[in-house]
Structure 1
Amino acid sequence: MSKTPVKNSFLANITERELQAIKHLPDYSSVESLPEIWPLVAQRFGNIVALHNPHAQPEIVLTYTQLCQQIQLFATGLQALGVQAGDRISLISDNSPRWLIADQGIMTAGAVDAVRSSQAEREELLYIVANSGSTALVVEDLKTFKKLRDRLDDLPIKLVILLSDEAPPEADTLKVYSFAQLMEIAAKHTLQPVKRSRDDLATLIYTSGTTGKPKGVMLSHRNLMHQIVAIPAVVQPQGGDIVLSILPTWHSYERSCEYFLLSLGCTQIYTNLRSIKQDLKEFRPHYMVAVPRLLESIYEGVQKQFREQPASRQRLIKFFLGISEKYIQARRTVEGLDLQNLNPSIVERLTASTQAAALSPLHALGEKLVYNKVREATGGRVKQMISGGGALPKHVDDFFEIIGVEILVGYGLTETSPVTHARRYWRNLRGSAGQPIPGTETKIVDSETRKELPPGEKGLVLLRGPQIMQGYYQNPEATAKAIDSEGWFDSGDLGWVTPQNDLVLTGRAKDTIVLTNGENIEPQPIEDACLRSPYIDQIMLVGQDQKSLGALIVPNLEALEKWAASQNLQLCIEDDKVASATSQKINLESKIIQDLFRQELNREVQNRPGYRPDDRIGRFKLILEPFSIENGMMTQKLSIKRHVVMERYRDIINGMFAQ
């Protein structure tokens, strides 16, 4: 795999294959800041529809020319109302064309936005507004404004913009304007250009910290521009290609993908969970940015349709899927893309080639009778789906490969803007997170000694490149902990690299748990809440790349035995214990014990300040061996060694989520 030296750090270490793939695309490598993109895009793709929200009332359709005009008007309005370069503005809103207009309008005015969903918990939003030092607030609607209003007088907020067309409160001491009013003000003024450099701060994205308090990730224009310039090495959309947008637009993942796709003239269609099935068929997208849970739901929907077929049809479908699974496995071996056998021998390749040739006609028949009909449910013209925010389950990955829908899995964190790695369509190594995107370096080190490890050995994943954040806002201690003196960012993930530099993730070294819907969960505050239960002695949350949280629980046997006695029950841990004549014998697997712990978990988690539905603990397992220094599952500071516990109880955890 030949590397081509490129002076531009955005494209350092780009391969010849990648250079060929991007040579026909617009080149933004010399652009200093993100807002400079939009006039260039409008000039190139002016009459192409940029944003289309078919579910808005009324429906919203904006061409690239109109989008650029709206962004500049929003910026002009902010300047006319006193916003200065470098000001912080909290943008509290969800998916809509006006979110992008506000986001880029704020940056065009030279300000910095701190972003979060309007659905977020009130105290969290107020913390973000306060911590960011925001002097202005842009909110989705009047409801969101009222949610925060009574605490805003204690903060330096001078200006509020509603992204809705609702009439602002008449007698408010704050200056409050609707979207339409802001645009009217802008029409009477002229935009004052603000020169921003790549190293200027562009945005603050708040992510959970180890204490549960959000940390403001500082992303510069360099960070965001790197994504626009480097991601085309992975996927190459054309002007007018349709993209379906469903993920939260303020998330780093969806946000950077939107910037990238729009910079290349794509048409973005806004959808939602209620409408996505119909929108896939109606708008027939070429691309979709997804999290594993979304792809799982599509897979589960197809499986449900299969189960509703007549028995004979079900048998036929099962037969073809079985044949095709063997076919794609043989094809991977031939291409050297089997993660379990990256360097097959000549004999293994020949055997696999023979098997693939033999199975190919049946796979083609399955394509004709089954798979093309399944693809029709996605619109029938998907070039690639991009998956990130967690690991894609193997059976889902295999299924999409069988039916001919290319899934390109990417990897990264909010702190890395976020994409650092991605699978390419010409090297789609299933089970991996792909190779680094241009400009990105990966290093695997021993988590204790920080000594660099050779390819194939598992360790802590360190990352370096133009997309690494500037740091955590007003938190130098956390920044120093995350980024070392040589610029290496500690991802908190464990993994290894193949000889071809594909990254394979194996777990977490840090505490954060990422669910398949892309949500980051800090376990410590939830565990602390659960420990209030008298029946829980120790607890460790699990659930990385799962739909919901699970837990390993060491019960307080003394308290549990007293409870059992109060219920005229006898808790029997040892099989040779005999229940007394006046009591019933039970053990930890008994339904009554399981129900007790379910009630305890639900109560303590839901009573926790800042509770979110994703905090709910689904599956749990009671274990008898306490976590301790002696058995290697706790540190000298009595912190749980999560990766050690995960390894020790791997089979139990896997079984827990397989139920």
Structure 2
Amino acid sequence: MSLNLSHNNLMSLADHTFKKYASNVFVTHVGEAGITYQQAQQKVIQLQVMFKELGVKQGDKIAICSENMPHWGLVYLAITAMGAVVVPILPDFHNNEVHHIIKHSEAKAIFASNKKMETIDEEDFSSNLSYVFSLETLDLVEDKTPAHSEFFIKGAQTVAQIKNKVLDFAKQKNLLKISEIDDLLTINPNDLAAIVYTSGTTGQSKGVMLSHYNLMAQLHQANTLIEIKENDRFLSILPLAHTFECSVGFLVPFANGASIHYLNRIPSPKIILGAMQQVKPTCILSVPLVIEKIYKNKVLTQFNKNKTIKYLYDNVAFIRKKMNKIAGNKLIESFGGEIRFFGVGGAKLSSFVEDFLSEARFPYAIGYGLTETAPIIAGAIPGKTRVGTTGTFAAEIEYRFVKTNEQDRDGELHVRGPNIMQGYYKDQERTAEVLDAEGWLNTGDLGYVDEMGILTINGRSKNVIIGPNGENIYPECIEAVIEQHPLVADSMVYELDNKVVAKIHLDYDLFDQQYDLKNNSDAKLHQDILSSLEEIKVESNEQLSSFSKLTSVFEQTDPFIKTPTKKIKRYLHM
């Protein structure tokens, strides 16, 4: 399958975009003046000249390990637009995982933030790593760069000398385009652009190989689905090392001349809401957990304060809709008042929260995809969403459902298209498990498409529980029901001794407000918890089919361990 793309590699896209939107603000920290597209281009060119001076060649791997900041994207473009390969590392990865990725990817250099710099140690230089850069300053870090590095051996050059050479070269050449740095450089569409290590729920991460063509096809698919304008303002709250934020929250606004605003402090509800008032964003990407917490803590608590209001909200549909619309207007104002695209992806959005967003007429969008698909497979834009579904397939995506029994409604979704990964880096065995010779990728998700072409995903095939009469029981669907209860922060449903059971992590702040923990004995506290868990089980079972009903529920005292996209690492809690 071949798409007729305006740009088939990141060098071509970058040259075009930097010129077209030169005076627009590109990236900034919240409340700061920011870097224009023209200023960004010059920084990218200087970085690429420095890479050449240090002997970085086409195909070499360069890692980025940092929280979000304006320089992250500039480094990403500098690496990929010269034919090198970027290796984004999630800042929440454990140090052992960071070391594994540096070694496994054969990274020649790494950019790290001040916070992540201490992660890099002598162990990392036993492989291919030779250079360490500060992401804040974009300079080489001398005391982190080992004596065996190539540029020390060849001339014992100092960082200052290299920087002067870079600036002199750029001035002499009067470089205006990235492509002018090396006239002989050709980037083919199928050349590797990125190796993205997944934050999987089943163990050690895998290196997903994405080509320039994969990323450019995904950009085309996203632009077909979403209309982004150059006056749009993105507020970035998800990690850039995750493909959802990198593709849709960075490359899409970049290609359309929009501005991207980054938090300069650790995200918290207070920090994010304050940033929204400053930036007045038009576009935000989020995982379900963020909007679900806002709904439970900001909206539902208001409706539950008064017994009469709670009764009307729970039982009278037209009053509930009116209340949701009022709450939706307030929510939009708290988001800065100009939000027009709130994209939710990374996991399934709870149906009760989506009911609220729909009735509130909040401009939310739904996206479904995988790191292996760069990432969008399907989506629905504001005004086109339908509760419980993930929208229609992206342009040029072929799909099929593989069923165990032909009479089953749901099947395992397989997709094929221009955004499908090349495979897992240095792992042919695991590549062959999910990607066949004809290009079909097994998503591992179970679902179906209705007569309107709208996709519904019900859960992961590996998580499905088989009922007593062969029924498919989807833990994710039961979890969505359990989490409607205001006291539930998180839940995980699984099979134990042929029974459907759940572990539940309570919202202890809310529990404290309701039961006054400090002034009660341990015995009373224990009894209150047991009573609450029983209430949650009974209320959940009232909404579940007979074969899906919960037999037992258990308290999960500590928060569940999660991936950076807030999915529970189920294998650690079974």
State the TM bucket, normalised to the shorter chain: 0.7 to 0.9
- Residue 168 of structure 2 corresponds to 188
Pairing 1:135–2:104 present: no
Q: Which amino acid in 1 is paired with 2:205?
A: P
Deviations 1:131-170 (A, max 9, x none): 11122222223x5333221203311222221213486428
* Cα offset, 1:64, TM superposition: 1.4
* CA contact 2:399–2:416 (8 Å) conserved in 1: yes
* CA contact 1:252–1:417 (8 Å) conserved in 2: yes
* Cα offset, 1:400, TM superposition: 1.6
Aligned with 1:38 (options 4, 10, 14) = 14
* Cα offset, 1:500, TM superposition: 1.5
* CA contact 2:215–2:247 (8 Å) conserved in 1: yes
Change (3 A) 1:460 1:129: same
Query: Aligned with 1:280: secondary structure?
Result: helix
Pairing 1:306–2:302 present: yes
Change (3 A) 1:499 1:124: same
Query: Aligned with 1:188: secondary structure?
Result: helix
- Residue 345 of structure 1 corresponds to none
* Cα offset, 1:466, TM superposition: 0.5
Deviations 1:465-492 (A, max 9, x none): 1010000111111111111122110000
* Cα offset, 1:318, TM superposition: 4.0
Structure 1 spans left out of the alignment, 5+ residues: 1-7, 12-28, 327-362, 513-539, 556-589, 596-618, 621-645
Greater Cα shift, 252-261 or 375-384 = 375-384
Query: Aligned with 1:382: secondary structure?
Result: coil
* Cα offset, 1:417, TM superposition: 0.5
Aligned with 1:280 (options 276, 281, 285) = 276
Aligned with 1:651 (options 515, 535, 549) = 549
Q: Distance in 1 between matches of 2:495 and 2:301?
A: 38
- Residue 384 of structure 1 corresponds to 341
* Cα offset, 1:67, TM superposition: 1.7
1:423-434 to 2 correspondences below 5 Å: 423-425=380-382, 427-434=384-391
1:152-191 to 2 correspondences below 5 Å: 152-165=124-137, 168-169=142-143, 172-173=146-147, 184-190=164-170, 191=181
- TM norm structure 1: 0.65
1:255-274 to 2 correspondences below 5 Å: 255-257=246-248, 258-271=250-263, 272-273=267-268, 274=270
1:248-647 to 2 correspondences below 5 Å: 248-257=239-248, 258-271=250-263, 272-273=267-268, 274-303=270-299, 306=302, 318=313, 322-323=317-318, 363=322, 367=325, 371-425=328-382, 427-446=384-403, 448=404, 457-510=409-462, 548=490, 550=492, 552=494, 554=496
- Residue 110 of structure 1 corresponds to 83
* Cα offset, 1:457, TM superposition: 2.0
Structure 2 spans left out of the alignment, 5+ residues: 171-180, 465-473, 484-488, 498-524, 535-543, 558-574
Q: Distance in 2 between matches of 1:371 and 1:436?
A: 28
* Cα offset, 1:311, TM superposition: 8.1
* CA contact 2:30–2:279 (8 Å) conserved in 1: no
Query: Aligned with 1:79: secondary structure?
Result: helix
* CA contact 1:76–1:109 (8 Å) conserved in 2: no
* Cα offset, 1:203, TM superposition: 0.4
Q: Which amino acid in 1 is paired with 2:262?
A: Y
Aligned with 1:206 (options 192, 197, 214) = 197
Q: Distance in 2 between matches of 1:214 and 1:441?
A: 27
* Cα offset, 1:109, TM superposition: 2.5
Pairing 1:97–2:92 present: no
Q: Which amino acid in 2 is paired with 1:152?
A: D
* Cα offset, 1:552, TM superposition: 4.5
Change (3 A) 1:374 1:548: closer
Deviations 1:107-152 (A, max 9, x none): 12321022212342111111111111122222223x5333221203
Change (3 A) 1:499 1:319: closer
* CA contact 1:118–1:139 (8 Å) conserved in 2: no
Deviations 1:354-413 (A, max 9, x none): xxxxxxxxx4x985x654333211112211211100111112112122222121111000
- Residue 47 of structure 2 corresponds to 74
Deviations 1:223-277 (A, max 9, x none): 1111211112221121111111100001011100120122111111113335111
- TM norm structure 2: 0.74
* CA contact 1:163–1:179 (8 Å) conserved in 2: no
Pairing 1:123–2:84 present: no
Change (3 A) 1:158 1:396: same
Change (3 A) 1:248 1:321: farther
Query: Aligned with 2:102: secondary structure?
Result: helix
* CA contact 2:364–2:381 (8 Å) conserved in 1: no
Q: Distance in 1 between matches of 2:162 and 2:59?
A: 20
Q: Distance in 2 between matches of 1:84 and 1:254?
A: 27
Q: Distance in 2 between matches of 1:412 and 1:653?
A: 33
* CA contact 2:324–2:356 (8 Å) conserved in 1: no
Q: Distance in 2 between matches of 1:210 and 1:394?
A: 22
* Cα offset, 1:10, TM superposition: 4.1
* Cα offset, 1:438, TM superposition: 0.5
Q: Distance in 2 between matches of 1:214 and 1:370?
A: 40
* CA contact 1:317–1:370 (8 Å) conserved in 2: no
Query: Aligned with 1:192: secondary structure?
Result: coil
Q: Which amino acid in 1 is paired with 2:435?
A: I
Pairwise CA RMSD of aligned residues? 4.0
* Largest Rg, 1 or 2: 1
Deviations 1:71-126 (A, max 9, x none): 22212211111101111122222211111111111112321022212342111111
Query: Aligned with 2:195: secondary structure?
Result: strand
